[in-house]
Amino acid sequence: MLIGRSPVRISFGGGGTDLPSYYEQFGGAVLSTAINKYFYTFLGKRADGRVQIISSDLRLFGNWADLAALPHDSALAIPVAVLKDLGAGLSADLFLASEIPPGTGLGSSASVCVNLLKVLTTCLRCPLSKYDLAERAFSITRCGLGRHVGKQDEYAAAFGGLNYIRFDPDGGTEVEPVALSPDVLAGLQSSLMLFFTGSAHHSWDILAEQEKSTRMPASAAVEALHEVKAAASTMRDALLAGDLGRFGSLLHEAWQAKKRVSHLISNERIDRLYQVARDHGAAGGKITGAGGGGFLLLYCERGWQDSVRAALESEGVQEMAFTFDFQGAQVIVNDPFIDRDERAGTRWTFLPMEPAPVI
């Protein structure tokens, strides 16, 4: 058996500039961090030539004898697309599970695709680098499934960590880790709060509208995205300078710009929740992902957090605790080097991205 896990992410600034419609014209940039909420794939080999997929989150399963017969338009479209893209004669049971609900703005769909690719290429002994893993996952979703997605989520899931990610007009991508001192990193992490608004959705319609408006270079959406991209760079500089107060203010300014990209990004309830948080001490924040629902991210110094927490709980919104993830996509396998007599039970070992283990 192989077990793979990949993190989801929170994006601070630059979201939307990772879409081809924008970065192919102007170049894009995103500041984001992976967090310790994971998507898991459990793979067990079969001997009957069939593939079975079970999703605990979607409460769905499928069992097929012919890879070519796997449907492209089902709710299991992502795992099916990954299997078809690899084109390998793999017979296996795949069990999929996540720590967060799908469609909540944390990049879970990309985490699914990255995770499956990581597990399956490990099983097939054809490992991918982190860059290749992210690019291939993006290609499967964007080109294979025809969905309006950007690149940032795949890179966050593959690399992990706090990163400033550049997207070049020619399609190239560069991941720059943001190396903070331990005190600044701890201060940042302790000042961030996540609240689930209770609304889960897929963001593809929002992103489709955004891509359409971004194809018009003089549009208001493009001007707003220029501000969003600039905010990602300024936020990074504030973090490197250790100025967390400035970072919180920039998060607020970037959210005001992001809302001008599309009228679908926010709504009356989101605006109310955000204002409640601001009234009780939050310095800044935003909806994670493309918008419209999901998680509300806040920057709030510790002295104000109890007040913000109580105010949002009175609105029926619950907090989700988290920490940063610095490992990215990984595979766990039973360690073959431990003598059976030394094992009281099953021992699992995290493997690095490369090289692939001998299975």
Question: Annotated catalytic sites, by residue?
Answer: 153
Contact 251, 12 (CB under 8 A): yes
Per-residue CA distances from 179 to 12, 139, 268 (Å):
16, 29, 37
Give every CB contact of residue 9 below 8 A, 6+ residues apart in sequence. 32, 33, 34, 35, 106, 107, 152, 153, 156, 157
Contact 228, 210 (CB under 8 A): no
Contact 333, 357 (CB under 8 A): yes
Give the pair of three-digit tokens for residue 121.
């290429």
Task: Tell me the torsion sign for CA atoms 281, 283, 284, 285.
Answer: negative
Residue 101, number of CB atoms within 10 A of its CB: 13
Helix, strand, coil in percent for the chain, rounding step 5? 40, 25, 35
The residue to which tokens 């894009």 are assigned: 28
Backbone Cα Rg of the chain: 21
Contact 80, 61 (CB under 8 A): no
